[in-house]
Structure 1
Amino acid sequence: MKSRLPLVSALALSIGLAVIPAAQAALPLAAGSDIRSLAPVLEKVTPAVVNISVSGNKVSRQVLPEPFRFFFGPEMQGEQVQERPFQALGSGVIVDAKKGYVITNNHVISDADKILITLMDGQEYEAELIGGDKQSDIALLKVDAKDLVEIEFADSDQLRVGDFAIAIGNPFGLGQTVTSGIISALGRSGLNVENLENFIQTDAAINSGNSGGALLDLEGKLVGINTAILGPNGGNIGIGFAIPANMVKSLTEQIIEYGEVRRGVLGVMGGELTSELARTFGYRSQHGAFVSQVIEDSSADKAGLKAGDIIISLDNKPVRSFSELRAKVATMGADKTVNLGIYRDGKKQEIEVTLARAEDENVAANTLNESLEGATLAKAETKDGVKGVKVTEVAPRSPAAMSGLEKGDVIIGVNRKRIKNIAQLRKIIEAKPDVIALNIQRGNSSLYLVLR
């Protein structure tokens, strides 16, 4: 987990030292004292941050290299499967006290057979996994308990660099710990922590075990879910990252309604807006998402978006980068209508777009299974009217290519179960079967490919 320096608390608790006016004005007043303190806010919200402990078995598979098989017996010729028990710790945030909904990171509960939640008062409950999303690293749990306390969502799009922030979690399994600092940066991406990155950066101290914990504003509202740190050996060096509350809220609402995340897609390709690109297109800012290509028949194409457009806002909120645009669109959900502010030919204008569902567009297959890395999948229908998942691209020498996948293949079944779209394919694979046998239609032939 990321971490940041306890700047606010250090200032607030330094009796006899001058406190900067901005901090003094922002912090609440402790009862019967002129010393500023976060305690009044924390007393209300800390019961809503829980400790999470998980246990389960991780399956590892290893195939003995061909040159060494001669020296071992027949029992060592095939794939070796090992199960190893594991335990892990993390944090979570109660966001609905009546229904018992708890948000955490997907990586905290990944592969877990048992999830235990410990409240601030020491009570323990077994939690049920409602759903999760690996790409955004968010998971939703449910616990059957009474008299819970919840934390209210803030509008994370209103955050500014320099705003004070409070981090609460369970670092190193020590128990609930509070740290404080500021918002150091917004819209961070390119960290390769998750597939969809639009992080809030903070210097509030975040360490291993803080994953899934709360990042709050001074009103005690949730501005983000702490998820990662940048530092050696998992230690705090003042650079922590949180998933914005608006993204978290949208994702959890989808999980509650559909049991899964129905990812939205715009249908554009592009990149970050450099100063050279901005000058070339007569735009005076480096904040925005440059559109290099509009996919034919996509939502963007139907709405009239064009290559060369610069997307500068989404629902009247500024877009800082292409990565931020991608993450926000993907987590908003399919079929949602959004308003895009664009810069085209020296003028600003607005375009209304209804987002398509990700399964209707190309999807990187490595998000489903490592053996499919290098393949791109899309919803398809064969000449015979059979619906399935088409392999639109296969990178040379990639795991997908070595598995035997070829461009143009149509996956119509998995483990003898018929599939018609990527969502059905994903559901079967995420159940972690021991073997994944893909029923492939290749030209006029039908065959099976077995993934290990």
Structure 2
Amino acid sequence: MKKRHFILTSIALGLSVLSTPMLAQASLPTVVEGQAVPSLAPMLEKVLPSVVSISVEGQQKGAQRNDIPEEFRFFFGEPFADRSPRQFRGLGSGVIIDAEKGYIITNNHVIDGADKITVKLSDGREFKAKTIGTDNLSDVALIQVEKPNNLTAVKIADSDKLKVGDFTVAIGNPFGLGQTVTSGIVSALGRSTGSDSGSYENYIQTDAAVNRGNSGGPLINLQGELIGINTAIISPSGGNAGIAFAIPSNMANNLVQQIIEFGEVRRGMLGIKGGELNADLAEAFNVTAKQGAFVSEVIPDSAAAKAGIKAGDVIVALNGQKIASFAELRAKIATSGAGKEVELTYLRDDKSHNVKVTLQSDELNQASATNLIPALEGAELSNYNSKGVTGVEITKVAPNSLAAQRGLRNGDIIVGVNRSSVENIGQFRKILDSKPSAVALNILRDGSNFYLLIQ
């Protein structure tokens, strides 16, 4: 949950009634007393069997004690942290994308940490389910029901074809009430919540009524096709305020197909740094575009460098679809997958150029340290190469995390593990994969070089 003048909450949707003009345009008549009346009922009859309610149970670690000053906690170690497991239960929603195999898309935050997942269909049947794979940075998860039988899958639409003003219908399980239908329109595209969590955000914004428990449920069009996965709302009170966000279906489908094929998300990387195009940048770099992704730096030997992208370029389209912001470009590139070829349209001196780029993998350039070794939980890593020093930089350490307890700090540079030198995350991963009996990190900090034993 993120607090500003509003609350950003991971949830999803509930129900509002369509007005007669909207239904008339939907062209989905039903017959009442011999007369055709506009209705979404015929479409919903086909879609509702693909929507599921999800209940989860699990255990989570307790919070660390706060009565010990942070600078001293490392010396006291684990006995002074309250990490006894605590039971939790949660509710959410999901949508079936493969009836034969029983695959269901939902949000990562719905099933995160769950030991038991139960899926309930619209006809009342219940199935046990297991997690196939997740991606916390985009909040997407793929689960699979055990012994799937007579399921119905939703048809997935091309979310890149969405336009502001298109009608939307959301289905979910608000407050555990069961399947509830809501309606609205696409309020905006390419939205970001402004979170600094490092997540990949390229949301569909809709004004459909949303409430807790609908997280992971489908946002569909009037043809009954999946256009998004409902994820979050912005609200002063935490309840519905008409501003809801959904992960586009193309983005969610790209990620789950990677999970199905590789067992994990293999994020694509273009190799640029930049920000949003504004009026001052447009004037300074002689471009007439109003929106786009401004390139401030191109990483050497990256996919962008090999394709001829240069600092000062403005990327305005990806695969023929307009790019409104750097955040949108970042999210679409990252979720496209390593090895995928994409076409970029960019402006240089206000002249348009098209170039095809094969995305690289980012696994050697950034990682969550938790994926490498549990003792580093709470640390984020990136490759470091500056002033003749190469290694792995600790870019972020979460307060009260295991990494913080071990004594790691933001800005630490790992240059070795035990007696082996480390030049990048790839080498770091390889050493840790060998499961050494002891792990002593050789760290550079403020000009000093020392070893830190973490395992």
Give the shorter-chain TM-score range: 0.7 to 0.9
What are the Cα deviations for residues 39-83 of structure 1, in whole angstroms up to 9, with x where unaligned? Answer: 000000001000000001111242464479xxxxx9996333221
CA contact (8 A) 1:3 1:238 kept: no
CA contact (8 A) 1:360 1:379 kept: no
Give yes or no for the alignment of 1:200 onto 2:208: no
CA contact (8 A) 1:250 1:332 kept: yes
Counterpart of 2:171? 168
Work out the CA distance in 1 between the residues paired with 2:351 and 2:78: 68
Work out the CA distance in 2 between the residues paired with 1:33 and 1:397: 62
CA contact (8 A) 2:364 2:425 kept: no
| Paired residue secondary structure (1:62) | coil
Counterpart of 2:55? 53
Picking from 179, 182, 195, the partner of 1:179 is: 182
Counterpart of 1:391? 392
Q: What is the deviation of 1:28? A: 1.1
Work out the CA distance in 2 between the residues paired with 1:4 and 1:121: 19
- 76 and 294 in structure 1: CA distance in 2 versus 1, 3 angstrom threshold: closer
Consecutive unaligned residues in structure 2, runs of 5 or more: 1-10, 71-75, 419-423
- 85 and 361 in structure 1: CA distance in 2 versus 1, 3 angstrom threshold: same
Q: What is the deviation of 1:297? A: 1.4
- 76 and 267 in structure 1: CA distance in 2 versus 1, 3 angstrom threshold: closer
Picking from 272, 287, 290, the partner of 1:268 is: 272
CA contact (8 A) 2:384 2:392 kept: no
| Paired residue secondary structure (2:240) | coil
- 77 and 149 in structure 1: CA distance in 2 versus 1, 3 angstrom threshold: closer
CA contact (8 A) 1:2 1:236 kept: no
Give yes or no for the alignment of 1:440 onto 2:441: yes
CA contact (8 A) 2:13 2:212 kept: no
- 214 and 269 in structure 1: CA distance in 2 versus 1, 3 angstrom threshold: same
Work out the CA distance in 2 between the residues paired with 1:37 and 1:326: 39
- 110 and 254 in structure 1: CA distance in 2 versus 1, 3 angstrom threshold: same
What are the Cα deviations for residues 141-176 of structure 1, in whole angstroms up to 9, with x where unaligned? Answer: 111221100001100000000000000000000000
- 300 and 194 in structure 1: CA distance in 2 versus 1, 3 angstrom threshold: closer
Which letter maps to 1:11?
A: S
Which letter maps to 2:217?
A: G
What are the Cα deviations for residues 71-124 of structure 1, in whole angstroms up to 9, with x where unaligned? Answer: xxx999633322110000000000000110000000000010000000111111
Work out the CA distance in 2 between the residues paired with 1:201 and 1:75: 45
Give yes or no for the alignment of 1:409 onto 2:417: no
Give yes or no for the alignment of 1:256 onto 2:256: no
Counterpart of 1:71? none
What are the Cα deviations for residues 12-53 of structure 1, in whole angstroms up to 9, with x where unaligned? Answer: 3xxxxxx36xx5233311145331000000000001000000
- 396 and 304 in structure 1: CA distance in 2 versus 1, 3 angstrom threshold: same
Picking from 415, 421, 426, the partner of 2:426 is: 421
- 146 and 366 in structure 1: CA distance in 2 versus 1, 3 angstrom threshold: closer
Counterpart of 1:432? none
- 96 and 394 in structure 1: CA distance in 2 versus 1, 3 angstrom threshold: closer
CA contact (8 A) 1:132 1:139 kept: yes
| Paired residue secondary structure (1:204) | coil
What are the Cα deviations for residues 316-344 of structure 1, in whole angstroms up to 9, with x where unaligned? Answer: 11111100000000000001111110001
Work out the CA distance in 1 between the residues paired with 2:357 and 2:371: 26
- 66 and 156 in structure 1: CA distance in 2 versus 1, 3 angstrom threshold: closer
| Paired residue secondary structure (1:360) | coil
Q: What is the deviation of 1:422? A: 8.4
Work out the CA distance in 1 between the residues paired with 2:78 and 2:286: 65
Aligned length: 417
Work out the CA distance in 2 between the residues paired with 1:248 and 1:295: 27
Q: Give the alignment's Cα RMSD to 1 decimal.
A: 3.5
* Mapping for residues 356-371 of structure 1, pairs under 5 Å: 356-363=360-367
Q: What is the deviation of 1:448? A: 4.7
Work out the CA distance in 1 between the residues paired with 2:251 and 2:428: 21
| Paired residue secondary structure (2:274) | strand
Consecutive unaligned residues in structure 1, runs of 5 or more: 13-18, 69-73, 384-388, 414-418, 429-435
Q: Percent identity?
A: 47
Which letter maps to 2:30?
A: A
| Paired residue secondary structure (1:409) | strand
* Mapping for residues 53-72 of structure 1, pairs under 5 Å: 53-63=55-65, 65-66=67-68
TM normalised by structure 2 equals 0.82
Work out the CA distance in 2 between the residues paired with 1:395 and 1:183: 35
Q: What is the deviation of 1:287? A: 1.6
Counterpart of 1:11? 19
Work out the CA distance in 2 between the residues paired with 1:331 and 1:186: 17
Work out the CA distance in 2 between the residues paired with 1:3 and 1:397: 31
What are the Cα deviations for residues 359-382 of structure 1, in whole angstroms up to 9, with x where unaligned? Answer: 1324476998896667532399xx
CA contact (8 A) 1:437 1:448 kept: no
| Paired residue secondary structure (2:311) | coil
Give yes or no for the alignment of 1:37 onto 2:39: yes
Work out the CA distance in 2 between the residues paired with 1:442 and 1:24: 67
Picking from 98, 118, 124, the partner of 1:96 is: 98
| Paired residue secondary structure (1:249) | helix
Counterpart of 2:107? 105
Counterpart of 2:324? 320
Work out the CA distance in 2 between the residues paired with 1:423 and 1:219: 49
- 210 and 401 in structure 1: CA distance in 2 versus 1, 3 angstrom threshold: closer
* Mapping for residues 327-346 of structure 1, pairs under 5 Å: 327-346=331-350
